[in-house]
Amino acid sequence: MPAIQLPAHGRGEPHTPFRTLVDLWANAVAAVPGQVAIEDATGVLTYHEVWSLAQALAVDLRRRGCAGRGVAILLPNGADFHLAYLGALRAGAIPAPINPVYPAPQVAALLGIARARVVLAPAPVDPALRDAVAALPDAELVAFDRAALVAAPHSSEELPLPCLDNPGVLLFSGGTTGISKGIVHSHAAMANAVRAMEYIWSTRATGEVWLPVAPMSHIYGFLMGVLNPVYGAGRIVVPPRFQPDLIVDMFGRHRVTVFGGGPAPIYAALLAATNFATTDLSALAVCPSGGAPTPVELIERWRRATGLTIHEGYGMTEMAPIAGSNEWIGLKPGSVGRPLPCNRVEIVDAETGTRVLPPGEAGEIRIAGPYAMTGYLDRPDETARTLRDGWIHTGDIGHLDADGFLFVTDRKKDMVVVKGFNVFPRVVEEVVLTHPLVHQAGMVGVKDDRSGERLVAFVAADPELTEAELRDYVAARVAAYMVPAEFRLMEELPMTPAAKLDRMRLRRLALEPA
């Protein structure tokens, strides 16, 4: 897989070239060894300290037989995650980040997929996790101990350098729709993903201050909180938790320039922070969004409040993750932008996935590009269904307009058929979210004897909003068959650990009496 070459633009500056993900860190260490790389609740680490401690961990992992094997990383966002990832990478292992907030049964399933040799977890170790690891063949649970790495004698052991096609990370598909799959990305693919992210959300070669909030175990948080900040030898400040007032305070106190944001609820929560209007946000320059579509209304509210645009991108874990963005080519309301120059995006019929559809016609989105996954680990049949003739078939529904801008309508599997009409939940959600008293909205379909399926709306809104008022509001703005059969008003909607709407939970709730 060749390295892509994309020019800097906007406020961007040329960055030091690199080939593998190990090179990425080596370049930063060589350029600014004494600069703070990461700051979290435990303190600060310079780039030289990160490299040295990761070396000590790599030596230990190799002695545990991890070369070529999976190393599961169950650590929260922060310096220890960086050390664990780089240590596993330099050991020649396959780093497999797992969100530490997942319950033990889900973690156990992911550890099985990863075929982990070592599981790195925070101390004290959860007994349920200890039991889960004990049930796996040839797996060892290691409590991550930074103090032990600091005290370890300096090792000059020469560590192997990875090849471009070696696995650079094993990630897992999201938990909103069903069983997770292990997604393998090579060093070459992830290196190209870093270059593509830099192209669309251009940064300076040094001096940026990054604040990530998405889990580093998620593809978006992994790039925005780990790889891309290191590419520009940036300073990463990691909040101990997502609390809107705290994040806004850190924006001002650390003079944050790049906010590694996430789905729409994160931006909505920041706008509602009690200190948002009084905090100096003048250093903030880049505000990306990812993980789920961002409503147009929210983008406008953020622009009015900050003078900045939420730069929405489109992709998926299998595409590492950016396939298109509204940053590099300009904005068009409702669109996630045009495909990057290094990618191809087509709309094909949802039935066969082979017939290319003309502009304006909705169908399944398929993508080809230089940072596609290698495949699903140990799932050749699933890989063959998703990765066909070089194209990633996304399962998303959308269309391209005459100018080549991509509009994502919904997930193919989320489409609801009401009386023979196709209803895409996101279309209705966008309408509901324009009501001034509504904060969140989520739609799901359930089987119905009369209409085939019916749409159930879950809405978080101010207490004075009534179901009847909301129904009339929606009915005045969409076709009759698109009006939800049922509205359920809640204080807040269930979210996944990645801050996405938890549609599986909503589907379960829809089957329960109101």
Q: What is the pLDDT of residue 176?
A: 40
What is the phi/psi pair of residue 13, to 5°? -135, 155
Tokens of 228: 């891309």
Indicate whether 338 pLDDT > 90: no
Please check whether residue 443 lies inside any domain of the structure: yes
- Distances 476 to 76, 431, 445, 480 between C-alpha atoms, Å: 46, 10, 21, 9
Please check whether residue 1 lies inside any domain of the structure: no
* pLDDT, average across residues 16-32: 94
Could you give the maximum distance between any two Cα atoms of the chain, in Å? 72
Please check whether residue 351 lies inside any domain of the structure: no
Boundary (domain end) residue, out of 135, 162, 189: 162
Indicate whether 265 pLDDT > 90: no
**Residue span of the structural domain in which 78 resides:** 21-162
Residue 162 contacts residue 22 (beta carbons within 8 Å): yes
Please check whether residue 407 lies inside any domain of the structure: no
Please check whether residue 180 lies inside any domain of the structure: no
Tokens of 272: 């509602």
Please check whether residue 466 lies inside any domain of the structure: yes
Q: How many domains does the chain have?
A: 2
What's the number of CA atoms in the CB half-sphere (13 Å) around residue 342?
A: 24
Query: How does 202-227 read in b/e, with b if 16+ C-beta sit within 10 Å?
Result: bbbbbebbbbbbbbbbbbbbbbbbbb
Measuring CA to CA, which residue among 230, 181, 204, 220 is closest to residue 79? Answer: 230
Query: How does 111-139 read in b/e, with b if 16+ C-beta sit within 10 Å?
Result: bebbbbbbbbbbeebeeebbebbeebeeb
> Following DSSP, what letter does each residue of 43-92 receive, concatenated?
EEEEHHHHHHHHHHHHHHHHHTT-TTSEEEE---SSHHHHHHHHHHHHTT
Boundary (domain end) residue, out of 101, 133, 162: 162
Boundary (domain end) residue, out of 162, 181, 216: 162
pLDDT, tens digit (0-9, with 9 covering 90-100), for 462-513: 999 999 999 999 999 887 888 999 999 999 999 877 677 888 899 899 999 8
Q: Is the peptide bond before 124 cis (omega within 30 degrees of 0)?
A: yes
Task: Tell me the residue ranges of DSSP E strands in 333-420.
Answer: 338-339, 344-348, 363-368, 375-376, 387-388, 391-400, 406-411, 416-418
Q: In what order do the strands lie in the sheet containing 452-461?
A: 438-448, 452-461, 486-490
Q: What is the pLDDT of residue 409?
A: 77
Tokens of 361: 């016609």
pTM tops 0.95: no
pLDDT, tens digit (0-9, with 9 covering 90-100), for 403-438: 999 988 777 678 787 876 678 788 899 889 999 999
CATH number of the domain that residue 131 is part of: 3.40.50.980
Indicate whether 175 pLDDT > 50: no
What is the phi/psi pair of residue 272, to 5°? -90, 0
**Helices 79-90, 47-63: crossing angle, 10 deg rounding:** 50
Residue 93 contacts residue 66 (beta carbons within 8 Å): yes
